[in-house]
Amino acid sequence: MKGVLLVNLGSPDSTDTNDVRDYLREFLMDERVIDLPKWFRSFLVKGIILKTRPKKSAKAYRKIWWDKGSPLIVLSEKLKEKVQKKVSIPVQLAMRYGNPSIKNGMENLKRLGITDVLVIPLYPQFAMATTETILVLVQKLQKKYFPEMQLTSLPSFYDHPDYIRVLGNSIQEELQGKNWEHLLFSYHGVPERHIRKSDITKSHCKMDGKCCFEDSSAHQYCYRHQCEMTSKGVAKYLELKEGSYSTSFQSRVSILGSWLKPYTDKTVEKFAKNGTKELAIATPAFVSDCLETLEEIGMEASEDFQENGGKQLHVIPCINDRDEWVNVLSRWIDEWACKQDIQ
């Protein structure tokens, strides 16, 4: 019997500092998030970051927390519920960090008699710290607790025509009637060394901004290439003129070395100082709105843009549980359930 496991990033159980600390500990101790030797990662996270970061992060979470809980969790649950109504096989929701856990999701599927599982990381682009860490943990849990389960994972869908259409339509709808001058695609940042580590050719990635557009087998696991292709695909779908859109990367942690550039905060500031009055910004690395979109972009970036001379930062919501996205995801699941290739 077949079933589906939708997996998103996760969130603290509440905005209490202790809950935020527990969440950050699990997240930052992941070797695919902070890819440093365990002893140093432990020293950095437990000895430095967790001393001050939880209080600051808890304050940020309080700004965006909903009555029903974490926006990311609430929106993910809505997505799961809508998808479940459209497909004929069981669907479970899990988070890579926090609750509901991946193990809990797999246990629920097992109780339903599921032995064939489609794992869907809710990330359009592949990255060590997102898709890869989900798949590695699912496989680890399968070997230890669920040996009877057969696992299949949905390929990264960063350039899938259906996804590009859904994302493009969501942007177009949000910006209709608004006098925006430039569209910025802001993706979650990762350390540059993550990109090099993911280069299966060990030679293609040059971090020069050009290799992403050259044919290579490295692109299968190259996060930056996939981000660039998402931007390019949406721009083509929306018939945007060259120069009217660009790509940047947010949420960097400077103590972890050099991160993908250009940085979103610096880019937003530059547009404002150069005279752009109305800037639109989309966050395609996230399927669901969360702290990084609602607070970092919706609040911090908006404030910075206006402080530096800009008038309005038009923040485009993630595709969340919009019906068009639900229909696409449901069709992919049905095609897998019928043993057809996703086209």
Contact 315, 131 (CB under 8 A): no
152 and 166: one domain?
A: no
* Residues in the chain, pLDDT under 50: 341
17 and 62: one domain?
A: yes
Contact 236, 167 (CB under 8 A): no
The domain in which residue 207 lies consists of 161-315
172 and 137: one domain?
A: no
Tokens of 52: 């001050």
327 and 285: one domain?
A: no
Is 343 inside a domain boundary? no
207 and 81: one domain?
A: no
Strand boundaries in the chain, DSSP class E? 2-11, 91-98, 116-121, 150-153, 182-188, 245-250, 278-282, 312-315
Q: Is 302 left (phi over 0), alpha (psi -120 to 50) or beta?
A: alpha
Contact 249, 212 (CB under 8 A): no
Residue 289: exposure state from Cβ atoms within 10 A (0-12, 13-18, ≥19) = buried
Domain containing 16 — which CATH number? 3.40.50.1400
Query: What pLDDT, on a 0 to 100 scale, did the predictor assign at position 340?
Result: 52
Tokens of 23: 């969440």
The total number of structural domains that make up the chain: 2
Q: Which residues contact residue 239 at a Cβ distance below 8 angstroms, ignoring those fewer than 6 apart?
A: none
Is 342 inside a domain boundary? no
Is 153 inside a domain boundary? yes
292 and 332: one domain?
A: no
235 and 264: one domain?
A: yes
Is 136 inside a domain boundary? yes
Query: What pLDDT, on a 0 to 100 scale, did the predictor assign at position 255?
Result: 75
Closest to 266 in 3D by CA, of 285, 246, 249, 287:
249
146 and 176: one domain?
A: no
Is 189 inside a domain boundary? yes
Is 297 inside a domain boundary? yes
Write the pLDDT tens digit of every residue in 109-157.
999 999 999 999 999 999 999 999 999 999 999 999 999 999 999 999 9
Q: What's the rounded Cα separation, in Å, for the pair 304 and 299?
A: 9
20 and 81: one domain?
A: yes
Is 117 inside a domain boundary? yes
131 and 12: one domain?
A: yes
Matching residue, tokens 């595709």: 319
Residue 72 CA to its chain's centroid (Å): 11
Closest to 116 in 3D by CA, of 341, 337, 340:
337
Query: What pLDDT, on a 0 to 100 scale, did the predictor assign at position 257?
Result: 83
Is 327 inside a domain boundary? yes
150 and 165: one domain?
A: no
128 and 202: one domain?
A: no
